[in-house]
């Protein structure tokens, strides 16, 4: 986990990104803020230039991203001192997980939540999930209760870890649940806000799903009690966009451990991963660019990669040639 506001460099290595070919002809959302699907994907890739006083946490939150998403898309970027005028890739395009498009869909592998209503995508947002030793459950449940200004009732293990706290923490700035909470059918697990937003987009909780305060407020106001909640773990996602297949590979905690120790992330490319891709491609399997697949699996940046071999000409993104 990247510790909040602690001045420590992440990793000072540079390596080229694989070639990206998105046709940026669609807007990421409507005027109402509702995201627009483009095939099996949502959003467009963008870039930003950092200011002298910027830290990556703030850039990520401003653009509805998690800190690790941004660092994975920008290998070698210092999260504390990116520097004046540094061009930062904003990985704000996502292949939808393979799951029913209904209710709340959480993909723990990408640290992201999607909310669908009547088959339409209403919002997508980064999340914080269970850290090592505190796994966020997988499976299907539902929202059973909603609470504004919830009280935090500590579990026995939390009492052991925080003996200085009372058994119940009332609403306020010291309450880690934030201002909104959606209780799930899984006892002791919630989707909630937080008083430490820097933990969003990381493996940072005891298993609950954390959201930025502004995102959980929107979800609270739009997702009714009884909403289906489906939690999946899909580090590989494949989907169509503009008639082409795109592969999105999300880095694992091990990949980030390698980076934090200032080593190149080395992902073992397994034959079963390639077999899964071939199976999912179906009749398009003959068009697969296996070199692009190999590179995407070996260097998981979390940015979708075009893996069908066509004559489509790659374009630059905001002046950045499609490296990733």
Q: Could you say which DSSP state residue 67 is in?
A: H
Supply angle C-alpha 143, 147, 152, rounded to 5.
105
Among candidates 6, 5, 13, which has minimal Cα distance to 261?
Answer: 13
- How many other β-carbons are positioned within 10 Å of the β-carbon of residue 204? 23
Q: Are 210 and 199 in contact (CB under 8 A)?
A: yes
Burial class (CB in 10 A: 0-12, 13-18, 19+), 264: exposed
Given the DSSP bridges, would you call strands 129-130 and 139-148 parallel, antiparallel or unpaired? unpaired
Q: Are 167 and 153 in contact (CB under 8 A)?
A: yes
Give the ranges where 43-84 is alpha helix by DSSP (H): 56-62, 67-73
- As a whole number of angstroms, the distance between CA 225 and CA 146 comes to 7
Burial class (CB in 10 A: 0-12, 13-18, 19+), 261: exposed
- Tell me the backbone φ, ψ of residue 56, rounded to 5 degrees: -65, -30
Which residues are designated catalytic?
192, 208
- As a whole number of angstroms, the distance between CA 115 and CA 43 comes to 15
Q: How many residues would you count in the chain?
A: 324
Burial class (CB in 10 A: 0-12, 13-18, 19+), 272: exposed
């Amino acid at each position: 986990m990247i510790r909040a506001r602690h001045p420590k460099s992440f990793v000072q290595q540079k390596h080229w990104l694989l070639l990206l070919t998105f046709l940026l002809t669609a807007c990421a959302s409507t005027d109402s803020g509702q995201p627009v699907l483009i095939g099996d994907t949502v959003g467009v890739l963008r870039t930003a230039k950092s200011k002298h006083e910027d830290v990556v946490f703030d850039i990520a939150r401003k653009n509805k991203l998690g800190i690790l998403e941004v660092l994975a898309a920008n290998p070698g970027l210092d999260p504390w001192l990116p520097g004046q005028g540094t061009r930062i890739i904003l990985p704000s395009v996502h292949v939808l997980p393979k799951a029913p498009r209904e209710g709340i869909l959480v993909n723990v592998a990408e640290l992201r939540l999607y909310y669908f209503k009547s088959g339409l995508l209403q919002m997508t947002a980064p999340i914080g999930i269970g850290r090592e030793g505190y796994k966020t459950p997988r499976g299907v449940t539902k929202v059973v209760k909603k609470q504004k200004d919830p009280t935090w009732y500590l579990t026995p293990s939390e009492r052991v870890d925080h003996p200085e706290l009372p058994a119940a923490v009332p609403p306020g700035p010291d309450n880690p649940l934030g201002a909104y909470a959606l209780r799930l059918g899984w006892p002791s697990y919630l989707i909630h806000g937080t008083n430490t937003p820097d933990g969003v987009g990381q493996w940072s909780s005891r298993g609950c799903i954390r959201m930025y305060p502004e995102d959980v407020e929107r979800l609270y106001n739009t997702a009714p009690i009884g909403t289906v909640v489906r939690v999946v773990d899909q580090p590989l996602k494949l989907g169509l966009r503009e008639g082409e297949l795109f592969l999105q590979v999300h880095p694992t905690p091990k990949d980030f451990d390698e980076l934090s120790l200032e080593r190149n992330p080395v992902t073992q490319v397994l034959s079963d991963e390639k077999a899964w891709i071939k199976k999912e491609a179906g009749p398009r399997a003959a068009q697969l660019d296996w070199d692009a697949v190999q590179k995407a699996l070996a260097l998981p940046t979390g940015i979708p990669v075009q893996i069908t071999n066509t004559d489509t000409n790659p374009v630059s993104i905001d002046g950045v040639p499609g490296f990733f």
